[in-house]
Amino acid sequence: MTNESGAEALDPRWLTAYHEAGHAVIALAVGRPLQKVTIAANRVRLGLCHLQKGRSRASKDWLEDEILILLAGMAAESQVSGKYNLGGAEQDLKMARRLAIMRAGNAQQAERLERRLLTKTEYLLAEEGHWNAVQHIAKDLLERETISGRAALHWFNQAVAQADK
């Protein structure tokens, strides 16, 4: 989906920027406001998309929204690298699996639910406005390392409005 060079696709910061931008865009798409998005690494993680607590629009399905957000990092990263980074998304995938089991009741049904929601996540990210927002947020993260939720929302709204023209 992107025409970046192969060298950029191998840069871990670049992949992390797309990963975190994916989380951010899907969070905003389902109405979850963001506190900040960062690719500043620490001992635990390479980046973070921090959602705001307590303030979000009413959701039709909170659990599904959470799983979509969790899967969005890996899905966005795969669009630029050509493969799923299961190791890099390990924490996200563990949490998505816990939520899927809560919904589905057993591991086999949870796995089917996860596959369906990964497909839905990829579909949402493929929308022109959403993918453009991912690209803008990732670029901003590479320039600044951390951006506010307000900045991410600006990029999201601008990209979606441009795609709607």
The residues, ordered by sequence, that sit 6+ positions from 101 with a Cβ below 8 Å of its Cβ are 107, 110
The tokens describing 16, both together, are 């992390």
Catalytic residue among 4, 20, 111, 143: 20
Which strands form 146-148's sheet, in the order they lie side by side?
48-51, 34-38, 146-148
Query: Is 20 an annotated catalytic residue?
Result: yes
Find the Cα–Cα–Cα–Cα dihedral 102, 47, 85, 32, rounded to 10°.
40
Give exposure, 99-118, as e/b (b: 16+ Cβ within 10 Å): bbbeeeeeeeebeebbeebb
- CA 72 to CA 104: how far, in whole Å? 20
Catalytic residues: 20
